[in-house]
Amino acid sequence: MSARLLDGQALAARMQQEIRPQVAEFTRRRGRPPGLAIVLVGQDPASEVYVGHKLKAGTEIGFRADLNRLPETATLDETLALVQRLNREEVYDGILVQSPLPKSMGAGAGITVFDAIDPSKDVDGLTAVNVGKLVQNRAALISCTPAGIIELLERERIPIAGQRAVVIGRSDIVGKPMALLLLQRDATVTICHSKTPNLAEVCREADILVAAVGRAAMVTTDFVKPGAVVIDVGVNRVSDRPTVELLYPKGHRRRAVFEKNGSLLVGDVHPAVAELASALTPVPGGVGPLTITMLMMNTLRAAHARVAR
Amino acid sequence: MSARLLDGQALAARMQQEIRPQVAEFTRRRGRPPGLAIVLVGQDPASEVYVGHKLKAGTEIGFRADLNRLPETATLDETLALVQRLNREEVYDGILVQSPLPKSMGAGAGITVFDAIDPSKDVDGLTAVNVGKLVQNRAALISCTPAGIIELLERERIPIAGQRAVVIGRSDIVGKPMALLLLQRDATVTICHSKTPNLAEVCREADILVAAVGRAAMVTTDFVKPGAVVIDVGVNRVSDRPTVELLYPKGHRRRAVFEKNGSLLVGDVHPAVAELASALTPVPGGVGPLTITMLMMNTLRAAHARVAR
């Protein structure tokens, strides 16, 4: 295996150490910690895990991090009312509504709820005004996953300017903001998606390849130019043995993890890409921990901006 | 010459015929025509020409189209006050602040003034909230030039989905919204810019190439894959004879235009590209007239949306 592993876990820990004294200083000056309110509607198991990580990280660093639960049966109006109450509460600098909302709430519910968040508290960077400011290179609060990837690339001294970057996936929360952030840093950026013909061929143009498709191990070696930097945003739970055995050779440590847990988190990038890429983010332990850390950075940033007003 | 010329002038005229009865119907129902307020600060000669075209087109179609002038010496505060007054005036459904603002107003003046426009009257699609909604595929008011190009491609039945599109230029008003609109229509989109190495090579990947760089005839034949569709957004005034003679062979009708006027409007695309492309927008008479027509479409759309509230 030739690729340097980009250790998001270690960087996240380092960044959290950097944030900690700033959080303490804010708390000392203001007589309260910076506050994050998380809204969780229903009991989606993956969401429970994510929210748990966010609360734990926040609390450990010194934030006030509160969970606001609504039942699976909550209406859109009830969810909006909760967001509006949190908008008004001075103790909260950031509000995060965990996706996805229950299907029963309707197709456009997510965007309606995000729109209700006060943009100055929008630590997920999902309100229209914050997305627009991102396009115009003047956003204060940027979607956490792409912001974390930029942080990782920059701290690992991976050049972006003048490079060809290919982003697979065009979601509002990862693909599109990722492309915009890479473009701002003078990469030549291509956005691919499910309707892209010859996807592997297009991806092979990339010096920096960001995979955000949500399909386990879909990005195989034929997607990757030798020496490319590959960022794996996918977190896919694989629970069938044949797939695991196909992905990892006998004796691989990840097989043991599978035996122990009965399932395995697998990224969008096939393990064999490690032989070809110059650098690669692992799953787990790559992009994920950075996303949570950027959420904390955004909350602190929002807190500073709010008290400065 | 092999490329089919995409006649923006003719399409613009056809679209204006389509809008006319809708404008008349609005006027009849509401007792007033849809209204467009244009703000022009200073006396930039190109701006005077553009504004003149917009006023003329608007009036001809049946809009109320008023010019609000401020002197070159106007302050940012005076400009903001004018915009805020226009926001409040019921007779105006659309507000357009002509770019560029005088340099004396400072670097960030443009964005500050655009931000002051009521998003429901933002017929240039430049406020942060409208740009954010464009990213999220739910914009009502979209930047006129890229919207006009999409209209042209669709009416000329040029396929977009599954095609590779390359946009040269990453401005807020053309390049970035153009890329987003092509992406929404399932193109695989690459954005190039001044820092892109091997620009010609990247552009040769394009099935649809959009040039928005602002440099006369920069996009030469080596930027173009044979059979590509080429959209020329550039409008560059060329007044030196050697350049004109280099671009157009002896006896070419454009040489006569140059002799008559002492200058020539030249696009970003070199005339020789017409031998190679399958379709091409001329300059003048391509994208320009569509931009103005889309401004009228946006004003009518804003008028309908405002009275529906």
DSSP letters spanning A141-166: S--HHHHHHHHHHHHTT---TT-EEE
Between A130, A180, A195, which is nearest B161 by CB? A195
Tell me the pairing of strands B229-232 and B208-211. Answer: parallel
- Closest-CA residue to A68 (of A37, A92, A44, A95): A37
Helix (H) or strand (E) holding A288: helix A287-308
Tell me the shortest Cα–Cα distance from A80 to chain B, in angstroms.
19
Residue-wise pLDDT tens digits, B157-183: 999 999 999 999 999 999 999 999 999
State how far the Cα of A161 lies from the Cα of B198, in Å rounded to an integer: 13
Q: In chain B, which among 246-265 make CB contacts under 8 A with chain A?
A: none
* Domains, in order of start, for chain B: 31-120 (3.40.50.10860), 144-287 (3.40.50.720)
CA distance A307 to B166: 43
Share of residues in chain B with pLDDT > 70 (%): 100
Paired sense of beta strands B164-168 and B188-192, if any: parallel
Does B112 contact chain A (CB < 8 Å)? no
The pLDDT tens digits of the residues spanning B84-134 come to 999 999 999 999 999 999 999 998 899 999 999 999 999 999 999 999 999
> What is the pLDDT at residue B47?
94
pLDDT of residue A1: 60
Determine the 3-state secondary structure of B72 from DSSP: coil
Contact criterion met (CB < 8 Å) for B132 and A131: yes
Output the pLDDT for position A241: 95
Q: What is the pLDDT of residue A245?
A: 95
State the pLDDT at residue A307. Answer: 87
Q: What is the pTM of this model?
A: 0.97
Mean pLDDT (chain B, rounded) = 96
Does residue B221 have a pLDDT over 80? Answer: yes
Which of A140, A49, A47, A57 has the alpha carbon at shortest distance from A97? Answer: A47
DSSP A250: T
Average pLDDT of span B220-225: 98
Structure tokens at A84: 């509006």
Local confidence band at B309 (pLDDT 50, 70, 90 cut-offs)? confident
How many angstroms separate the CA atoms of A240 and B131, rounded?
43
Contact B127 A131 (CB under 8 A): no
Query: Residue A239 carries which side chain, given as an amino acid letter?
Result: S
Q: In the structure encoding, which two tokens stand for residue A254, read together?
A: 């990840």
Of the candidates B172, B180, B193, which has its C-beta nearest A136's C-beta?
B172
Mean pLDDT of B52-68: 97
Percent of chain B with pLDDT over 90: 97
CB contact under 8 A, B188 and A189: no
CA pair distance A22, A25, nearest whole angstrom: 5
Contacts (Cβ under 8 Å, ≥6 apart) of A242: none
Are A97 and A83 in contact, with CB atoms under 8 Å apart? Answer: yes
Q: ipTM higher than 0.85?
A: yes
A54 touches chain B (CB under 8 A): no
Q: What mean pLDDT is predicted for residues B272-292?
A: 97
At residue B2, does pLDDT exceed 90? no
Residues in chain A, pLDDT under 50: none
Amino acid code (one letter) for A109? A
The structure tokens listed for B258 are 């140059």
Nearest to A129 among B129, B164, B183 (CB): B129
Residues A294, A144 contacting (CB under 8 angstroms): yes
